[in-house]
Every structure is written in structure tokens, then in C-alpha cells.
Amino acid sequence: MSIPVIIDCDPGLDDAVALFMAFASDELDIKAVTVVAGNQTIDKTSKNARDLVAFAGGKCRVSVGASKPLLRELSTAEFVHGDTGLKNIVLPRADFDFSKEKPHEIIYEEALKNEGKIHIIALGPLTNIAAALLLHPDLKEKIGHITLMGGSCYLGNHTPAAEFNIFVDPEAAKIVFESGIDLTMVGLDVTNRAMVFEDEIEEFFNLGNRVSRTVGEILLSSLDFVREFGFEGVPMHDPFAMASVIEPDLMETKQYHVDVETRGVHTSGKTVVDVYNVRGLRPNASVGVDLSREGFVRLLKRLMKKYGE
């Protein structure tokens, strides 16, 4: 039986690959794609999301959400994702309109309709999810699970201490981590290792369909950037979060208590993971700590191949 999911995202090169995976997967029943500002401004991320859903042949609602974090000004990651948010990737324009409902309405509606089973896969800053939780105080009991790409036990990427998605809206992240909802945190500890190596990129071109070729182009366009940081391949942050829902065995998790720093001068947006449980608090998240890289790449290829069928 497939899992009813809502995908909240800010495409974003890696969000694009994650969406392609989701729409190819029989394991997921995608109820809606909700969009947030993050990797780029909301006009760009929502246009990209709609075009990506259309390109993948998806039929779900696409809803435009928050244009800025709850309390802060927006930081984007233009240096990673380019001016359009999809760098050099050009997609055909989608032939459908955005949903009239806001993300928080869709999330609430689907949470009720799916009777506690809805699984939210959050690939950007957590603004839309936090807004939904603030507007609907009873929502937290009605969401089945949230899997989020964000944070890390150890190092950050946007600052030395903070990962980008949490850094952009730490207050929203704090609301989500303190909500009591079953959470899986797919952070940099695993996603930095969910790499596609350079010599594996060719295979995506060889799969011979337009979606897999686009994935190949995305991987190629990210190579220079990641080489600058000494990575051996392209880390697939959002796609690995998606993979962990489609095939949970790909990721090993540990139960930890996680706090979100919102006040530090040098650490704002850091997920503070109590690895040794020195504070003795109850765990509030399953945190990804290890993965099968080969298994992930195999899944990515299997799903991309389906677009040729």
C-alpha cells in the first residue's frame, strides 16, 4: 500500500531530482506539492515546482506558500542553484494553474482526510509546516510523520554550524522539532555521503529518457561547486531524504533529542543533537546517521528508468 504524502519543497536542483523520484515511485501517493521560499525566492521556486511536476507527469495540486521565513528576512542559495533556482536547466512551461488553496489548508485537509497517515516530506525551510501547525493547533495529532531534509549532528554547510534549510527559518524548525510529531531528520551527516560519483553520471544519460537526462544535467552542473569543497561526488540532499521514505532500509537512524538554536551569534540555525544524551531528555527525532550509498544510487537509477517505460 502506498503512503499518502505531501511534498513541501523549494526547487532547487536537488529538490528537482527528489520530485522526479517521488513521481516515479509506486510507494508514494502524492496528494500535493507545496512550495516555500528557500533556495530561491517564492516566485521562482513555485514556477520551478509546477514545471517539474508537469515534466514528471504528475497530476497533483501545486500550492504556493510562504515567501519569507516566519520572523526573518529570506536568505537564498543562489550560489548553488543559480538565478532561476534550476541553474542551466530549462523545462517546458506547465499547462496547469497553481492550486487556490494555501499549503496550510491543504496540509490540514489532507491530514484529516487520511486519518493520521499523512506523511509530510519537507525539503526546504520549514516555514509552511510551522505556519500550518500554528494556524491549526490540533494538526500535530493528525499528522502521521514528517521526514525533513535539514540540520546535522556535526557540521553545517551554509555557516560552520548550520545547515541551509534550518538556517533560513530556525524559528519554524524549532516549532516543528518541538511539535511532538514523529520526525525523521535527514541531515548533512547522511546527505553529504549520499553522493553520485562522477563516473556514475554518464549512466543517467544512458537511461535514454528526458527525465533521466535532466538528472544527468543537474549532476553535471553541480560538479564544479562540490569539487570546491573537496567532495568526491555530488551530494544528493533532498533526493536522499526522499529515498529514505521510499526505501527506509537505505538509512540507519538513531533516536536523539534535537533542539534548534535560534539565538546564537555564530550558531543560529544549528540543530543541537544530544548524541550522548547528556541532558537526559526524551528523544524527539529519528536522526539519520548512516546509509547505503550504493543502494541509494541503485534506487535513483531504478526510478529514473521508469520514465522510459
Phi then psi dihedrals of residue 19, to 5 deg: -65, -40
- Residue 151: how many other CB atoms lie within 10 Å: 29
Q: How far is CA 160 from CA 5, 206, 210, 243, 288, in A?
A: 32, 38, 37, 26, 20
* Binding window for other proteins (CB under 8 A); candidates: 21-29, 35-43, 44-52, 272-280: 272-280
Distance of closest approach, residue 230 Cβ to other proteins, in angstroms = 8
Tell me the closest approach of the beta carbon of residue 131 to other proteins, in angstroms.
22
Q: Contacts by 224-233 with C-beta closer than 8 Å and gap 24+?
A: 225/79, 225/80, 231/192, 231/195, 232/195, 232/197, 233/195, 233/196, 233/197, 233/198, 233/200
Q: Binding segment for other proteins among 17-25, 69-77, 85-93, 256-264 (CB under 8 A)?
A: 256-264
The site string for other proteins over 211-230 (x = CB under 8 A, - otherwise) reads ------------------x-
What does the alpha-carbon distance between residue 161 and residue 267 come to, in Å, rounded to a whole number? Answer: 5
119 is catalytic: no
Q: Which of 144, 264, 283, 295 binds other proteins (CB under 8 A)?
A: 264
Backbone φ and ψ of 64, nearest 5°: -85, 125
User: For residues 279-308, which are near other proteins according to CB under 8 A?
Assistant: 279
Residues 31-60 contacting other proteins, CB under 8 A: none
Q: Residue 128 or residue 152: which is nearer to other proteins going by CB?
A: 152
Q: Compute φ and ψ for 66, nearest 5 degrees.
A: -60, 135
Interface residue with other proteins, options 54, 112, 155, 223 (CB under 8 A): 155
End-to-end alpha-carbon separation of the chain, Å?
22
Scanning 199-207, 236-244, 273-281, 296-304 for contacts with other proteins by CB under 8 A, the matching segment is: 273-281
Q: Tell me the three-class secondary structure of 41-72, residue by residue.
A: CHHHHHHHHHHHHHHCCCCCEEEECCCCCCCC
Q: What is the C-alpha to C-alpha distance for residues 198 and 7, in angstroms, rounded to an integer?
A: 28
* Closer of 82 and 264 to other proteins (Cβ): 264
Report if residue 80 touches other proteins, rule: CB under 8 A. no
Of the candidates 239, 176, 32, the residue with the CA atom closest to the CA atom of residue 118: 32
Catalytic residue among 81, 104, 119, 237: 237
Residues in contact with other proteins, counted by CB under 8 A, come to a total of: 29
Q: Does 261 bind other proteins (CB under 8 A)?
A: yes
Q: Is 71 in the site for other proteins (CB under 8 A)?
A: no
Among 2, 59, 154, 255, binds other proteins (CB under 8 A): 154
Read off the C-alpha cell for 177. 522539532
Window of 80-88, 193-201, 254-262, 290-298 that interacts with other proteins by CB under 8 A: 254-262
Q: Shortest Cβ distance from residue 168 to other proteins (Å)?
A: 15
Residues at the site binding other proteins, with contacts judged by CB under 8 A: 153-161, 229, 257, 259-268, 270, 272-276, 278-279
Instruction: Tell me the catalytic residues.
Output: 237
